[in-house]
């Protein structure tokens, strides 16, 4: 009798936990639903970059201009300053790591 009662209580606990998990929504579900419903702004511009650039490693916005950094090799980097208004390259910096 006692072991049967414990078994029934165990089944009730398991089914209760399953019911709780099915009926509750998590915060991550709410966040993913909100992200899926987000409206993205229109593309402001499409930039044509020089073909000799390496891997893009960083882009930032500074004083209304885009600053894009590229890694050309293990010790070689290129930094472009791009005008946001028309997409032209304003300045280009080539940097190389020298021997200490």
- Is the pLDDT assigned to residue 44 strictly greater than 60? yes
Per-residue pLDDT tens over the stretch 62-76: 788 899 999 988 888
**Contacts with 99 (C-beta within 8 Å, 6 or more apart), sequence order:** none
62 and 90 in a single domain? The answer is yes
Place 26 in a pLDDT band, splitting at 50, 70 and 90.
low
How many distinct structural domains can be found in the chain? 2
Report if residue 46 sits inside a domain.
no
62 and 31 in a single domain? The answer is no
Report if residue 41 sits inside a domain.
no
- Is the pLDDT assigned to residue 31 strictly greater than 80? no
The CA distances from residue 88 to 52, 54, 98, in Å, are 16, 19, 30
Residue span of the structural domain in which 25 resides: 2-36
Residue 23 burial (CB count, 10 A): 7
Report if residue 14 sits inside a domain.
yes
Report if residue 47 sits inside a domain.
no
Ramachandran category for residue 12: left, alpha or beta (phi over 0 → left; psi -120 to 50 → alpha): alpha
pLDDT at 12: 92
31 and 60 in a single domain? The answer is no
């Amino acid at each position: 009798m006692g072991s049967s009662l414990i078994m029934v209580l165990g089944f009730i606990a398991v089914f209760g936990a399953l019911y709780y998990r099915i009926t509750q929504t998590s915060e991550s579900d709410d966040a993913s639903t909100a992200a899926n419903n987000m409206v993205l702004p229109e593309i402001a511009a499409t930039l044509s970059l020089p073909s000799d650039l390496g891997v893009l490693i960083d882009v930032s916005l500074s004083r209304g201009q885009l600053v894009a950094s590229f890694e050309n090799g293990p010790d070689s980097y290129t930094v472009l300053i791009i005008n946001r208004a028309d997409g032209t390259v304003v300045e280009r910096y080539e940097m190389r790591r020298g021997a200490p």
